[in-house]
Amino acid sequence: MAEGPRSKKDSKIEKKGRGKKKRNKRKLAVWMFFTAAIAVVCGIIGYMLIILNGERILADNQDKLILPEASTIYDAQGKEVTKLGANREVVDFAEIPELMRDAVIATEDQRFEKHFGIDLYSIGRALVKDVVARSAVEGGSTITQQLAKNLFLTQDKTFFRKATEASIAVAIEHKMTKDEIITMYLNRIYFGKGAYGVKAAAEYYFNTDLKDLKLWQIATLAGIPKAPSTYNPINHADKSKDRRAIVLQLMYDQGYITKAEMDEAKAVDYKPVTHTAKQTETYQAFVDYVIDEAEKVSGLQEEQLRISGYKIYTTLNTQAQSAMEKEFEDDNNFEKSVDEQQEQAAMIIVDHRNGEIQGLVGGRDYVNKGLNRVLEPRQPGSSFKPITVYGPAIETGDYSPSSILQDVKKCYGSYCPSDSNKVKYIGPITMRQSIKESRNASAVWLLNEIGVKTGLNFAKNLGFELDSSKDRNLAIGLGGLTYGVTPFQMATAYSAFANDGKSVDLHALVKITDKEDDPVYTYNAPESEQVMKSSTAETMTDMLQGVLEKGGTGVNARIDRPVAGKTGTTQNGIPGLSNGYNRDAWFAGYTPEWTAVVWMGYDRTDKDHMIKKSSEQSAAMFGKVMREAMKGVPKGSFKKPAAEQEAEKPPVGITNFSAVYNELKSAVQLAWSPVDGDGMTYRIYRKATGEAEFTKLLDSLTTTGVDDLNIAPGMSYEYYVTAYDPAKDLEGSPSATVKADIPEAEIEPPANPDEGTPGNNSGGGNNGQGNNGQGDNGQGNNGQGDNGQGNNGQGNNGQGNNGQGNNGQGNNGQGNNGGGTVPPGDSGNGTTPPDQGGGPGNTPANGGQTPGDGSGATTGQPGSDDAGTNSGSGNAGTGNGTAADPGTGNDGGANPGTGTEGKRTNASSDGSQPVIISPQSSGSSGNNATGNAPNSGTP
């Protein structure tokens, strides 16, 4: 259907709609125009306000363009010590190397030549990072803004501070050219170690003028301002080198240098330079440490602390500090070096009652090097023994100063510690003597007994975070650590021993106030922790005092007040060089009031730079310094260990101990002087050739002498004896160790084992005896073959008035089954022991029958004798084997006499050949008694 013509009414409506749209567009255009205009006006006004604000700040703070106000250091008495003046030298633009300017621009502000003080691109990038991190982590500051901040503002990153910084930056750009801005920046920026400006930094770190700087040096300097205490090459050479590599990469990326130049500069290692005395400051090592501590605890940066007019109150004891510096300046206290590398040292003194550092010295000519060796890790040697061995052992409750340790040459797997004493491996030794003489073998033995884990845990309680995998070994007992420890850490640990086992928080800073004396920081001591039992601390202090007594390793540390301490040395560590010289020498000690630690050594140890005087020079330095430093400090005294106060002391040590081999008795005769005390007993300890440790041989002895019969020919035996009080369960210190050498024995050839030839009864000798006279036993020989036996030879007793005759002797023939080591008993009757003969008579009684055939552990067969009057007895021969019990004979005899025993044959230790051993002493006279008694023949 065709569309009809539109009405006039519809046409009017359509025209009206088009007109309305045009009016709306015009309104939008007008609105946008005015909005843009307002924005432009606001921008202009804002810009003008920023400029005006910056101009106002510049006008009101013209004085800040001059050298900032130095902060002041005060000692423990509140007296001014020094002002932290700036080391600054101003240079002109023309004196600054172009490459130096390029390095700073490439690192700090790549768009420096293009922006007008504010880099909107950098600000946008910073805002994005801040949003992502949800905190102000990126500054986005230009070099001009950094200069503004350096001149007028603080280090916070708030929006208002940044806005003010931006206004000052724009104002600076209005007032100064780019060259003037970069010149002022490089003259004022802080480069660490007290150096302000690039010229001072070049001289301090490289001892060179600006114009002579090399690329790697320029890049090193350009990397420092971001974090001076972190990236300066003296404090952290590795971090500085890493930062230098970043700077060089940025310079290469922006076309300032070539890749070859970049690679060459990256590879250079920094070596510290020597400074002149003019660059030193009063008590420099202590001041530097205070600044570092203040930076950590207050949140202020080093630059602020130095030049913001702060008042910094410290714990410094100027008397102690001066005493240290005086002795460190005396070359006579050090070994003479073969060249310019001199022996170095470090020392720190602490009041362990409150943790206040009295003073510290970081090295000889410390300020010339800037390396604080109080904070440098070194191997502690034996000074670590109280921390990983003796302290942990006492803490267990299983050991005391009188506990017996073993100072013996022994390997623990592949680890073989050795004593460094002149007399090595003295065997049994008390813990007190072990620590006094600094014995290594006994220390490692003790650590092995208590367990390495026990030592590590004790060290951890004292603040040492040792490597849980690399340091889990016995070497920690001698201070052999993966990364070493610092004198500062050692002072902290020894302070706990001195402070009744409680932790001590070492600190040098008391408070900081601003120019108006408003507090900025105040030290609050943390709550002390009990890191060991108080009894452990008291016992350790008691033992460590012995180190300074005669015979101890620390006698040079003695002063006019009580001192406890420990020496320590480490081997030179140079492969293939064994000369007894050392790499490190320590003394860590304390009085009842102060703790001090001394380290001495070379920064770089090599064949020409080793310590020859051991730890005696460290102990001497301790004594010299502390004697002067503590003048006027009230003298205190150490508490006696509670256990020592409550309990009686153990028995005293044994004296006059001797060990003598008696050939007749075939025994080692031991004898010693008695110890006073009721019910006292004695313990014998023995170590044979080839044995690593002493073992208890005899116990509960009440006599002062005993024979050791359990010995073997050709062996050597060492002995010591202790007194033991069973009522108190206390064992005294060991006697001196004595040694007995057993001579090789004569070997008699055996009979042919295959023939089984019987004995020949050839041993008879006639004893002429009168009534109750004395005669010796005749002996018959047992012939033995393979499972065959010979007859007993008999000796005949002659008669006569008081006449005496000697024993005839026959030897045992032996076959393959011989093997007993124990002689059978004699056929005696009454109380006569087996080595005694019978009395006179006309007819001898039958000798004991053949002993067991000696095959294995056969017990000897008893002999039998007919009863008779005045019967004699024959001593049976010994079978060769492992027979355990002697045989016994039965005889009724009256009026037995006593004779000297003829030689008997003992089996050799391996059961193969008989060995001739000299006899024991003769038997005692008979007692005319009759009766049966078993033999007690001795092996």
Position 230 pLDDT exceeds 50? yes
Q: Do 786 and 816 meet the contact criterion of CB atoms below 8 Å apart?
A: yes
Q: Give percent above pLDDT 70 in the chain.
A: 69
Position 599 pLDDT exceeds 60? yes
CA distances from 225 to 137, 147, 201 (A): 17, 12, 11
Residues 6+ apart with CB under 8 A from 91: 183, 186, 187, 197, 198, 199, 210
Higher-scoring residue by pLDDT: 347, 919:
347
Pairwise CA distance, residues 373 & 555, whole Å = 25
Domains and CATH numbers, the chain: 80-277 (1.10.3810.10), 648-744 (2.60.40.10), 746-939 (no CATH)
Give residue-wise pLDDT tens across range 360-395: 999 998 764 578 999 999 999 999 999 999 999 999
Pairwise CA distance, residues 62 & 236, whole Å = 37
User: Span 535-554, mean pLDDT?
Assistant: 96
Position 776 pLDDT exceeds 60? no
Give residue-wise pLDDT tens across range 241-274: 999 999 999 999 999 999 999 999 999 999 988 7
Averaged pLDDT score across all residues of the chain = 77
Task: Say which amino acid occupies 22.
Answer: K
Q: Do 342 and 363 meet the contact criterion of CB atoms below 8 Å apart?
A: no
Residues 6+ apart with CB under 8 A from 309: 68, 69, 70, 71, 514, 515
Pairwise CA distance, residues 352 & 503, whole Å = 9
Q: Do 887 and 877 meet the contact criterion of CB atoms below 8 Å apart?
A: no
Six-digit token string for 744: 């090789």
Pairwise CA distance, residues 735 & 731, whole Å = 12
**Cα distance from N-terminal residue to C-terminal residue, the chain:** 146
Kindly indicate the confidence band of residue 613, based on its pLDDT and cuts at 50, 70 and 90.
confident
Give residue-wise pLDDT tens across range 124-175: 666 666 556 555 445 568 888 888 877 765 544 444 555 677 778 887 888 8
Higher-scoring residue by pLDDT: 294, 813:
294
Q: Do 808 and 899 meet the contact criterion of CB atoms below 8 Å apart?
A: no
Pairwise CA distance, residues 656 & 639, whole Å = 35
DSSP-assigned beta bridge partners for residue 566: 588
pLDDT of residue 14: 57
**Cα angle vertex 724, ends 720, 729, to 5°?**
140
Position 278 pLDDT exceeds 70? no
Give residue-wise pLDDT tens across range 452-500: 999 999 999 999 998 888 999 999 999 999 999 999 999 999 999 999 9
Collapsing DSSP to helix, strand or coil, 319 comes out as helix
Cα Rg, the chain, nearest whole Å: 47
pLDDT of residue 59: 64
Six-digit token string for 47: 């810009």
Kindly indicate the confidence band of residue 766, based on its pLDDT and cuts at 50, 70 and 90.
very low
Position 897 pLDDT exceeds 80? no
Position 16 pLDDT exceeds 80? no
User: Span 876-904, mean pLDDT?
Assistant: 37
Q: Is the pTM of this model over 0.85?
A: no
- Positions annotated as catalytic residues are 108, 382
**Cα angle vertex 817, ends 813, 821, to 5°?**
80
Candidates 892, 879, 877, 873; CA nearest to 933 is 892
Task: Say which amino acid occupies 498.
Answer: A
Pairwise CA distance, residues 921 & 923, whole Å = 7
Kindly indicate the confidence band of residue 512, based on its pLDDT and cuts at 50, 70 and 90.
very high
Kindly indicate the confidence band of residue 293, based on its pLDDT and cuts at 50, 70 and 90.
very high
Which of 349-358, 801-810, 821-830, 849-858 has the highest mean predicted lDDT (pLDDT)?
349-358
pLDDT of residue 12: 54
Which of 193-197, 756-760, 835-839 has the highest mean predicted lDDT (pLDDT)?
193-197
Candidates 347, 552, 384, 372; CA nearest to 475 is 384
DSSP class of 502: B
